[in-house]
Amino acid sequence: MDVLLNKFYNDVKATEWDYKVENINDIYKLPLHIRDEMINDFSMYNRLTEIESIDYWSSSINWVYVYNNICFIPLDKCASTYYKKLFSDLGWHEIPLGDVPDDYYMISCIINPMKKYMKGLTEYIYYNNLHNSDSYNILINTLLIPDHHTIPYTNTLGSYVKKIDFIPMDIMSDNEVKISLMKRFKSSGYKATLPLDDQRIHVSSSEKLEIYKDVINSVTNDRERLAFIYTMFCNDLALYRNVVENWSG
């Protein structure tokens, strides 16, 4: 069932509409006068466009930090927990991505997409205690996109990727990342001092590192699964390569 389309129909239908709508095919089976009313009176195509748009979902599920005319977008497995706390402590405001004005300077940090995926899969396994499950070997060899930590950047951000100045944080030290952030903030009229030599909030345990090794082995040793993963992350890989090749520090 297309849950959102079903909800839209149930929200707008008149009491005399004795029809069941579970997916788009059911819409085309409705009497013409009902379809016309849904289109003309209830903006059905506007709602369908929203449902089918990555940007619509991206603008509502992604929360970002803004200050003056700058927007920082935290991304999973890219020190997001640390930077959320840092910018919150600095007085930045947390708002939905869709509420950011078009003229704001957008910036974010990313790492190699395949590394991000492996780390995300590791996190899912570790915090759901799957590594202590009798089905661990089956799970680690079959999981693809179990939660938000493993979703590709380009699916998370949609067309927003074209507006964002990305910092490839995995090719530099933590201090270098912050220096790059301060440099870009200054260019946008905001003079910030970010703490250098800070301790990371999350440091991987030996147990988590073992799971990470298992994940790498399970993914790289299964050619069919690896092909599926590259199919999902090919746009991310192109994005990351472009960021790295054009990186000027």
Task: Give pLDDT tens digits for 180-235.
Answer: 999 999 999 998 899 999 877 677 889 999 999 999 999 999 999 999 999 999 99
Contact 100, 71 (CB under 8 A): yes
Residues 6+ apart with CB under 8 A from 141: 218, 222, 225
Radius of gyration of the chain (CA): 22
241 and 161 belong to one structural domain: yes
Contact 120, 152 (CB under 8 A): no
181 and 206 belong to one structural domain: yes
17 and 79 belong to one structural domain: no
| Residue among 123, 106, 112, 184 nearest 153 (CA) | 112
Asked if pLDDT for residue 1 goes beyond 90, the answer is no
The whole domain housing 48 covers 3-52
CA dist., res. 172 & res. 183, Å (int):
15
- The pLDDT of 122-141, averaged and rounded, is 94
97 and 12 belong to one structural domain: no
136 and 214 belong to one structural domain: yes
* Residue 215 counted as domain residue: yes
- The per-residue pLDDT for range 2-13, each reduced to its tens digit, is 899 999 999 999
* Residue 189 counted as domain residue: yes
36 and 68 belong to one structural domain: no
* Residue 199 counted as domain residue: yes
In our burial notation (b when 16+ CB lie closer than 10 A, e otherwise), range 98-109 reads eebeeebbbbbb
pLDDT, position 90: 94
* Residue 18 counted as domain residue: yes
90 and 124 belong to one structural domain: yes
* Residue 21 counted as domain residue: yes
- The pLDDT of 52-76, averaged and rounded, is 93
Asked if pLDDT for residue 91 goes beyond 90, the answer is yes
* Residue 57 counted as domain residue: no
85 and 121 belong to one structural domain: yes
Asked if pLDDT for residue 120 goes beyond 80, the answer is yes
221 and 103 belong to one structural domain: yes
Asked if pLDDT for residue 50 goes beyond 80, the answer is yes
Cβ-defined contacts of 5-13 (< 8 Å, 24+)? 5/48, 5/51, 8/42, 8/44, 8/47, 9/38, 12/38, 12/41, 12/42
* Residue 113 counted as domain residue: yes
40 and 73 belong to one structural domain: no
Contact 123, 207 (CB under 8 A): no
Please give the order of strands across the beta sheet that includes 63-67.
93-96, 63-67, 70-73, 105-110, 164-168
pLDDT, position 201: 67
Helix (H) or strand (E) holding 168: strand 164-168
pTM for the complete prediction?
Answer: 0.88
* Residue 88 counted as domain residue: yes
Unique residue bearing structure tokens 């250098």: 196
CA dist., res. 126 & res. 29, Å (int):
47
102 and 209 belong to one structural domain: yes
**How many domains does the structure of the chain reveal?**
2
89 and 128 belong to one structural domain: yes
